[in-house]
């Protein structure tokens, strides 16, 4: 299983260029509401249960994010195991984004 990552600089550049990205923030709701860069908030604890309700195709690029990249790595594994083919983990998480801003 190939693990793909995206770094904070690349993600910021893509967002700043106006590109529409499928961001999935797997932090808890309170963390998401405190600070986020957009995207859909689906806490890791609810991710498996919500997979059947998604509008994403198995071939869509999905970028999973969390605070430091650990929960999103778990989410990436779960999504890959469920047949999603293009799942990227934000390396260093939102902490890496905040360091660049």
Separation of alpha carbons 9 and 79, rounded Å: 24
Domain of residue 41 covers 4-100
pTM summary value? 0.95
Strands 86-90 and 61-65: parallel
The confidence score (pLDDT) of residue 60 equals: 97
Res 96 pLDDT > 90: yes
Counted domains in the chain: 1
For residue range 7-65, list pLDDT tens digits in order. 999 999 999 999 999 999 999 999 999 999 999 999 999 999 999 888 899 999 999 99
CATH assignment at residue 88: 3.40.250.10
Closest by CA to 40, choosing from 51, 19, 26, 24, is 24
With 60 as the cut, is the pLDDT of residue 1 above it? no
């Amino acid at each position: 299983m190939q693990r793909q990552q995206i770094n904070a600089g690349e993600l910021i550049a893509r967002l700043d260029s106006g590109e529409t990205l499928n961001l999935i923030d797997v932090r808890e709701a309170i963390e998401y509401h405190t600070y986020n860069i957009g995207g859909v908030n689906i806490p890791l604890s609810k991710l498996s249960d919500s997979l059947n309700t998604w509008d994403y195709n198995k071939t869509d690029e999905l970028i999973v994010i969390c605070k430091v990249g650990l929960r999103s790595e778990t989410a990436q594994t779960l999504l890959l195991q469920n047949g999603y083919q293009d799942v990227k983990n934000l390396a260093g998480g939102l902490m890496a984004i905040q360091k660049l801003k």
